[in-house]
C-alpha cells in the first residue's frame, strides 16, 4: 500500500485542508491529523503505529506536499447519487414487472373464461343443430298418393297416429300413418268406387 496517498490508520485518502490533512510525527511517518489527534486524546506521548517510536503532541508537524492524492468528496457524492438513481430505477422496474405480471394473470384468466364460453356456445350450437334435424324429421312432409279434396284427418296424439280418409279409383278407405316413423301403418278399405258416399269413423 502506498502510504503517501492514504492514511495508514484509517486507510482513507488525505485532504488538502481540514481535519484529515497530512501531518508527520517525529519518526517521519505520515498520517491524517484527525487520526493522530484521536490516538493522542489526553496523552502527552504515543507510539507511532508503524515503527512504534515515541512521539509527543508537540512533535506533530503539518506537511505541505507538492503532490498528494486528496479525497474527492464531489466524486463520492456523484457515485452515491448514481447509486440512488440506480436503486430508484430498479424499484420502478420491479413495480412495473409486478403490474405486468398481474395484468398477464388477469388476461390468462379472461382467456380461460372466454374459451369456456366458446365451448359452451359450440356445444349449444351442436345441440341446436341436432334439435333442428330432429324437428325436420318430425315435421317432414308425408307423401300422400291420393286426392284429399274431401278427406277427413284425425290425429291420435297419445299413440302418434294420423288417420286420413281417401278417395281413389279403387274406392273409399282410411289410411293410418305412424307419425313417429313417418310410415303408413295400415290401410282400411271401406267401400268400392262410387260417386256419392257417406260413412262414419269410429274405433279404428
Give residue-wise pLDDT tens across range 37-82: 898 888 888 999 899 999 998 888 888 766 655 555 677 778 888 9
Residue 112 lies in a domain: no
Of 46, 71, 96, which residue sits at a domain end? 71
Q: What is the DSSP string of 84-130?
A: HHHHHHHHHHHHHHHHHHHHHHHHHHHHHHHHHHHHHHHHHHHHHHH
Tell me which range, 120-129, 143-152, 167-176, is most confidently predicted by mean pLDDT: 120-129
Side-chain-facing half-sphere of 144: CA atoms under 13 Å: 19
Residue 76 lies in a domain: no
Q: 22 falls in which pLDDT band (50, 70, 90)?
A: confident
Residue 92 clears pLDDT 90, i.e. is over it? yes
Q: 104 falls in which pLDDT band (50, 70, 90)?
A: very high
For residue 135, the model assigns a pLDDT of 60
CA torsion through residues 79, 85, 88, 92, sign: negative
Tell me which range, 24-33, 117-126, 187-196, is most confidently predicted by mean pLDDT: 24-33
User: How far apart are the C-alpha atoms of 35 and 29, rounded to whole Å?
Assistant: 13
32 bridge partner residues: 22
User: What pLDDT digit, counting tens, does each position of 7-17 carry?
Assistant: 888 888 888 77
Of 17, 41, 71, which residue sits at a domain end? 71
Residue 4 clears pLDDT 70, i.e. is over it? no
User: How far apart are the C-alpha atoms of 176 and 183, rounded to whole Å?
Assistant: 9
Rounded to an integer, the average pLDDT of 118-123 is 87
For residue 86, the model assigns a pLDDT of 93
Of 22, 53, 71, which residue sits at a domain end? 71
For residue 100, the model assigns a pLDDT of 93
pTM higher than 0.85 for the full model? no
77 vs 121, residue with greater confidence: 121
Give the total residue count for the chain: 204
Using CA atoms, how far residue 58 sits from 37, 51, 61, in Å, is 11, 18, 8
> What CATH number is given to the structural domain containing 62?
3.30.40.10
Q: Note down the domain range covering 44.
A: 1-71
Number of domains, the chain: 2
Amino acid at each position: 500500500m502506498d502510504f503517501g496517498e492514504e492514511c495508514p490508520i484509517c486507510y482513507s485518502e488525505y485532504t488538502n485542508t481540514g481535519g484529515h490533512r497530512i501531518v508527520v510525527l517525529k519518526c517521519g511517518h505520515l498520517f491524517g491529523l484527525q487520526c493522530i489527534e484521536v490516538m493522542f486524546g489526553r496523552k502527552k506521548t504515543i507510539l507511532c503505529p508503524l515503527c512504534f517510536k515515541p512521539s509527543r503532541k508537540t512533535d506533530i508537524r503539518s506537511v505541505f506536499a507538492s503532490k498528494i492524492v486528496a479525497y474527492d468528496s464531489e466524486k463520492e457524492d456523484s457515485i452515491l447519487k448514481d447509486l440512488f438513481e440506480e436503486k430508484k430505477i430498479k424499484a420502478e422496474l420491479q413495480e412495473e414487472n409486478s403490474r405486468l405480471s398481474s395484468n398477464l394473470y388477469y388476461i390468462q384468466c379472461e382467456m380461460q373464461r372466454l374459451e369456456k364460453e366458446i365451448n359452451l356456445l359450440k356445444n349449444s350450437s351442436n345441440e341446436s343443430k341436432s334439435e333442428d334435424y330432429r324437428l325436420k324429421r318430425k315435421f317432414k312432409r308425408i307423401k300422400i298418393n291420393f286426392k284429399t279434396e274431401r278427406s277427413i284427418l284425425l290425429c291420435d296424439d297419445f299413440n302418434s297416429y294420423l288417420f286420413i280418409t281417401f278417395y281413389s279409383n279403387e274406392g273409399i278407405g282410411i289410411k293410418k300413418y305412424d307419425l313417429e316413423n313417418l310410415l303408413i301403418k295400415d290401410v282400411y278399405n271401406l267401400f268400392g268406387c262410387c260417386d256419392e258416399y257417406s260413412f262414419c269413423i269410429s274405433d279404428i
